[in-house]
Amino acid sequence: MASTSKIAVERRNLSPADLYEHAIRRNEANIVSTGALTAETGKHSGRSPRDKFFVREPTSQDAIWWHPGNQPIASAKFDQLLARMEEFCDAHDVYTQDVFACADPRFRLRVRVVSELAWHSLFARNLFIRPTADELMNFEPDFTVMSLPSVMAEPQRDGTHSETFILVNLGRRIVIIGGTGYAGEIKKSIFTALNYLLPAQGVFPMHCSANADPDGSDVALFFGLSGTGKTTLSAEPSRRLIGDDEHGWSDRGIFNFEGGCYAKTIRIHKESEPEIYTATESFGTILENVVFDPRTRVPDYDSDEKTENTRAAYPIDLIPNAVLAGTGSHPHNVMFLSADAFGVLPPVSRLDEDQIRHYFLSGYTAKVAGTERGVTEPEPIFSTCFAAPFLVLPPERYADMLIERVKRHHADVWMLNTGWVGGPYGVGERMSIAHTRAIVRAVLAGDLRGVSTHVDPVFGLQIPNRVPGVPREVLDTRDSWPNPEEYDRQAAKLRDMFDQNIHMIGKSASSAG
């Protein structure tokens, strides 16, 4: 270490109780009435994709899908920022957590997380897989993440866009994060690394949740962007949760990348999401940017005063029916979830091979009017493979892996609209969670395999004519609109947006190749 006026201390693998004490003493966080720890992430209440860069280095540069979301940065710029990170660690107390990613031991990644904040160290402990005492002996990391919010870039000097930076060096297997207190960058940096490392080992990395029936033989996957129900629908009391966000599909089946959950808490209620709600009230759970009463310390999950993206980070064993081994068999059903604010996609449809590729590469959901300044009508969000910010290789590579596995293991693939029916946002109604759950149960029970279907005239989707527990008029999207001709116009508009997006993906992949 460099010579400094302060003797820095590295606090390694502290327990949750220890980290609580450190976070409180250092004024990083507060304890709320439920026993959870609540912290604020500062000006960044979400990820900063514009500030993420891949180091252009010999071992990975020819494989990376270079597009506007995967920005290059020179090795020399990485080295100078890394040197400043190391100087900070020499002069300040830091926290280290040694953890695992990947529940399947064959693909396990040993990860060392070095953090400036005690609550970030607890976050890493909650979200990744926790080694045993024996496994921690002689622990040597395969990948290192350094998260030091106080270290800020100087854009003109360092080649960044702002003082915030997330630099991924796949050759040296290091990620450095500075200028942001948002803990989600830590977990997503390792997901990014796995999207690069695992395909070479024959594993398909996926941004999805997964659950299984009680005996573990019937696995289902749920792909979807934020707000589509990926976490909610996978936390089904009658089934066992494998994981809520990141998984791999190997020759043996499904495995979780993580050992915890990172659930959105905005407007969460015990009645609608009992398992997740209970986990938010537990000692060891971290609440991010959740408002609480300063006198009673009672959290207010309905408040979006700080952000809509309020979160709870907790170990998966707080979910009563979780599969603690983090593994499952090959899935029988794969579901793509889209919260369609245009109100034109059917509540459920079964996809053929061409449609699987099209809608997987699209990764669609929509913003609704009023959720952001300037948004006056629905806006589409396309995130290819439901994971665009974390993809390292060209998207067709991931689509090919999905289709190959679906065909080999005879899985059915479905698209569910968890958004609006009977009209767009402001005219129609949000799809009832009870109806969506009924659709999911029918899919998992095999009740839709022999049901007659009709073809959507705009998207060409096969729509079941009957789903137990769901009214017929809900299933027929066009007929549910007061003006079917207006449906035709809106549906054609969205279809054109899909086509334009697919065209752009193809152009980007071609130019990268």
- Taking the alpha carbons of 390, 395, 399, 400 in that order, is the dihedral positive or negative? negative
Output the pLDDT for position 7.
52
Q: Is 207 a catalytic residue?
A: yes
> If phi over 0 gives left and psi between -120 and 50 gives alpha, with beta otherwise, what is residue 386?
left
- At 460, the pLDDT band (50, 70, 90 cuts) reads very high
Mean pLDDT check: name the lowest of 41-45, 276-280, 472-476, 481-485: 472-476
The predicted-structure confidence for 200-228, as pLDDT tens digits, reads as follows 999 999 999 999 999 888 999 999 998 89
Place of tokens 């659709």: 439
- At 4, the pLDDT band (50, 70, 90 cuts) reads very low
The predicted-structure confidence for 406-420, as pLDDT tens digits, reads as follows 999 999 999 999 999
Output the pLDDT for position 130.
98
Residue 324: CB atoms within 10 Å: 14
CA distances from 154 to 77, 85, 179 (A): 11, 13, 10
Q: Is 47 a catalytic residue?
A: yes
Residue 232, C-beta contacts closer than 8 angstroms, at least 6 positions apart: 272, 273, 276, 433
Going from N- to C-terminal start, the domains of the chain cover 10-41+51-205+266-318, 330-512
Catalytic residue (choose from 52, 230, 240, 405):
230
Q: What percent of the chain has pLDDT over 90?
A: 84
Q: Return d(Cα 174, Cα 193) in angstroms, integer.
A: 9
In this prediction the pTM is 0.93
Mean pLDDT check: name the lowest of 202-216, 315-329, 449-463: 449-463
Q: Is 245 a catalytic residue?
A: yes
Catalytic residue (choose from 34, 115, 164, 231):
231
Q: Return d(Cα 361, Cα 88) in angstroms, integer.
A: 41
Q: Reduce the DSSP state of residue 82 to 3 states and report it.
A: helix
The predicted-structure confidence for 59-69, as pLDDT tens digits, reads as follows 999 999 999 99
Residue 389, C-beta contacts closer than 8 angstroms, at least 6 positions apart: 47, 49, 52, 69, 188, 192, 383
Catalytic residue (choose from 52, 56, 188, 405):
188
- At 509, the pLDDT band (50, 70, 90 cuts) reads low
CA distances from 117 to 22, 39, 150, 309 (A): 9, 11, 10, 20
Q: Is 367 a catalytic residue?
A: no
The predicted-structure confidence for 13-25, as pLDDT tens digits, reads as follows 999 999 999 999 9
Nearest C-alpha neighbor of 164 from the set 253, 59, 52 = 52
Q: What is the widest separation between alpha-carbon atoms in the chain?
A: 76
Average pLDDT over residues 40-52: 94
- Burial bucket for residue 321 (CB in 10 Å: 0-12, 13-18, 19+): middle
Catalytic residue (choose from 60, 75, 226, 432):
226
Average pLDDT over residues 62-80: 96
Output the pLDDT for position 2.
40
The predicted-structure confidence for 82-129, as pLDDT tens digits, reads as follows 999 999 999 999 999 999 999 999 999 999 999 999 999 999 999 999
Give yes or no for residue 378 having a pLDDT over 90: no
Average pLDDT over residues 146-168: 98
Q: Return d(Cα 289, Cα 313) in angstroms, integer.
A: 12
Q: Which helix (H) or strand (E) holds 75?
A: helix 75-91
Catalytic residue (choose from 47, 247, 330, 435):
47
Q: Return d(Cα 355, Cα 342) in angstroms, integer.
A: 20
Catalytic residue (choose from 52, 67, 207, 332):
207
Average pLDDT over residues 246-266: 96
Catalytic residue (choose from 311, 330, 405, 435):
311
Contact 188, 159 (CB under 8 A): no
Domain covering 330-512, topology? Phosphoenolpyruvate Carboxykinase; domain 3 (3.90.228)
Contact 494, 380 (CB under 8 A): yes
The pair of structure tokens assigned to 467 is 């789903």
Residue 513: CB atoms within 10 Å: 9
Domain 10-41+51-205+266-318: give its CATH code: 3.40.449.10
Place of tokens 């096969």: 462
Catalytic residue (choose from 245, 247, 307, 349):
245
Give yes or no for residue 376 having a pLDDT over 80: no
Q: Is 231 a catalytic residue?
A: yes
Output the pLDDT for position 474.
87
